[in-house]
Amino acid sequence: MSFRKSADILKHAGIYVQCRICGDELVPAGGFIKVGGALSFTPLGVVRAESVNRFFAFDGQSVYVSADGKSFSYLNALAGDDPFVVEELENGAARAAAVCGKNAVLHDGSSFVCREYGANLKYGVMHSGRLFGADVEDGLALRWSGAGGVCDWARGVQASGYVRLDPERGEIIGINKLGDKLVAVRRFGLTVLSAYGNCENFRVEATDTECDDIYRGTAGVAGGRLWFCTVSGLKYFDGERIRTLGHPLAKDVYSPESAVCFSDKYFLICKSRFKGGKAVLCVDGDGESFIADAAASALCAADGLYAYCDDGVFKFGTGARYELFADGVNFGSGGYKTLTGIFVDGSADIEISNGRVTRGFSGASGKIRPRLRGKNFCLRITGDGAVRKIIAVAEVRNEL
């Protein structure tokens, strides 16, 4: 004896590439669209300085500048790891400082000067008119400049200074602003610093912020949360404590490299088992996640989200094709069954496999009849428009 059984394929979805489920519908989530050709160098980091209307890119040896984020020109030598860009006002005029170690390229939008700025920092951020950064030579020391900005390193209780953080949580691997606080991202946790006004009032806040090994370069702030990746997965700090965020792609992604936050979403360059290489994971505050198909070496948040790949410059937007992969569709039974039909409310390209045989239906809409026999089925759905429902129907043999 056998009976008919149906399965909602969208509920079996395991991998979302540039798509997501919204109100039981499969909708495109956007993806990276090519906007420019390949750069002459491999950028390790790209940062937008809004005040001088320029993009700065670093390749470990030099700094490059661009007005549109697509084509860069060589600016100056700036060798070293962990470069950063900060913006400040100097004599009433905005300027950006591209800093790497002891050297800074100070750029006002039309001219620049390269010189030592008085400190040796990495992971710098501007906060209350001061430059905060981790000391290159002492990974536990958090330093701050005087209120004069990037180049103000006169020593004093009212001027520049430092605090050496407790060694338990390891070296500083990033500094982020979270609301009115500064958060030093450490190897094994976070340290929150309240640093407003006079240095005498600076305070290291005692918070429950220990966690497992954090990946360097993965911290970013979106939606009032500090997001970062640890060896046990994606976590966020909400200002009070660290919480773990489970998401559907947690088991697919690995080797996180760097992250950028844009439009309240967290974008992480990592590797995807499904894509078989580099991709960009996008997660929002509700734990909805999808993979954007871009083997990026750097991301940059500006008027949009830019991805810098070997084959060109891409910008996140709508119109990209999506791909949804659902496996382990067995209709609740371990035995053989025959997949007789699939009802598609919308239009998409569908591939169905039983592990040996794959059948493809281009532009599937309405009812298709795969007539495929097997124990477990995998479906790959690709398209560029919303699909309201995909219901598979199978003849399942009664095992009793």
Partner 1 sequence: MNFDIIDITEEQLKGLSVVQMKMLRTAQQKKDALYRKAEDDLEVFRVLYLTAGMKNSNLYADKRAELYEDRDYETAVLADNLIYNMSLNEPSGGGDTGDPGGDERAGYIVDYSLTYNERYVIVRDYYLAISDPDERMALYAADDVAKRYLSGYYTTLYNVLATYSK
Residues that bind partner 1 (CB under 8 A): 155-158, 161-165, 199-206
Nearer to partner 1, 206 or 400 (CB): 206
> What is the nearest approach in angstroms of partner 1 to the Cβ of residue 322?
48
> What is the nearest approach in angstroms of partner 1 to the Cβ of residue 198?
10
> Which are the contacts of 73, defined by CB distance < 8 A and separation ≥ 6?
64, 65, 66
211 class by beta-carbon count within 10 Å (0-12 exposed, 13-18 middle, 19+ buried): buried
Show the 3-state SS of 262-296: ECCEEEEEEEECCCCEEEEEEECCCCCEEEECCCE
288 vs 29, 281, 318, 326, CA distance in Å?
11, 11, 17, 16
Nearer to partner 1, 141 or 386 (CB): 141
Nearer to partner 1, 76 or 207 (CB): 207
Nearer to partner 1, 62 or 207 (CB): 207
Nearer to partner 1, 144 or 314 (CB): 144
Nearer to partner 1, 163 or 368 (CB): 163
> What is the nearest approach in angstroms of partner 1 to the Cβ of residue 118?
15
Kindly compute the dihedral angle of the four CA atoms of residues 31, 58, 219, 134, in this order, to the nearest 10 degrees.
Answer: -170
The angle formed by the CA atoms of residues 217, 221 and 227, to the nearest 5 degrees, is: 65
> What is the nearest approach in angstroms of partner 1 to the Cβ of residue 355?
58
> What is the nearest approach in angstroms of partner 1 to the Cβ of residue 163?
4
> What is the nearest approach in angstroms of partner 1 to the Cβ of residue 380?
53
Instruction: Give 179-183 contacts, CB < 8 A, sequence gap 24+.
Output: 179/224, 179/239, 181/205, 181/239, 182/125, 182/127, 182/132, 183/219, 183/226, 183/237
Nearer to partner 1, 203 or 371 (CB): 203
> What is the nearest approach in angstroms of partner 1 to the Cβ of residue 159?
8
The alpha helices in 278-358, defined as continuous H runs, are none
CA-to-CA distance for 207 and 220, rounded, in angstroms? Answer: 19
Tokens linked to 75: 């600016």
Tokens linked to 256: 């996180």
Tokens linked to 328: 């382990």
Nearer to partner 1, 21 or 199 (CB): 199
Nearer to partner 1, 142 or 279 (CB): 142
Q: Could you tell me if 365 and 347 are in contact, meaning their C-beta atoms sit under 8 angstroms apart?
A: yes
> What is the nearest approach in angstroms of partner 1 to the Cβ of residue 131?
16
330 vs 22, 371, 377, 381, 397, CA distance in Å?
24, 15, 6, 17, 12
> What is the nearest approach in angstroms of partner 1 to the Cβ of residue 156?
5
